[in-house]
Amino acid sequence: MSVKAPAEKNFRRAKVRPSSKKKVRTRSWLTWRAARWSAAVVLVFYAGFRATSLVLQASALQVRRIAVHGNVRISSGEVQAIVDGLRGASILTADLPR
């Protein structure tokens, strides 16, 4: 058995809409998206930096031996004096005099 109560004449519902949560979600989503992109860019730059330093410091790419052949106008000692600082340097960054 159901009983219906009469509606009150003075009661009115507030015509307030609930706050929009989509804007907060959109901002939050954009913030997370920007954070992920920033982290990815930082990771790529760091990986590039580490790879570059690894290649430049690789022992396989360092000058170990300097052999002088075909020197007619300059002596071997003078050539060795010119290229003295090259031993142990990377072949990619060596400053070869012309």
Distance of CA 88 to the CA centre of its chain: 29
Nearest-5° Cα angle at 79, 60 to 67: 40
Q: What's the pLDDT at 22? A: 58
Contact by Cβ (8 Å): 74, 53 = no
- Residue 20 tokens, joined: 């929009």
Q: What's the pLDDT at 58? A: 92
Distance of CA 56 to the CA centre of its chain: 18
Burial annotation 61-84 (CB, 10 A radius, 16+ → b, else e) = ebeeeeeeeeeeeeeeeeeeeebe
Q: How far apart are CA 73 and CA 13, in angstroms?
A: 105
Q: What's the pLDDT at 3? A: 81
Q: What's the pLDDT at 16? A: 74
Q: State whether residue 62 is helix, strand or coil.
A: strand
Q: What's the pLDDT at 97? A: 62
Q: What's the pLDDT at 83? A: 81
Per-residue pLDDT of the chain (98 residues; tens, 9 = 90+): 778 877 777 777 677 777 665 555 677 878 889 999 999 999 999 999 999 999 999 989 998 888 878 878 888 788 888 888 888 888 888 887 65
Give 75's DSSP letter: -
Q: What's the pLDDT at 21? A: 59
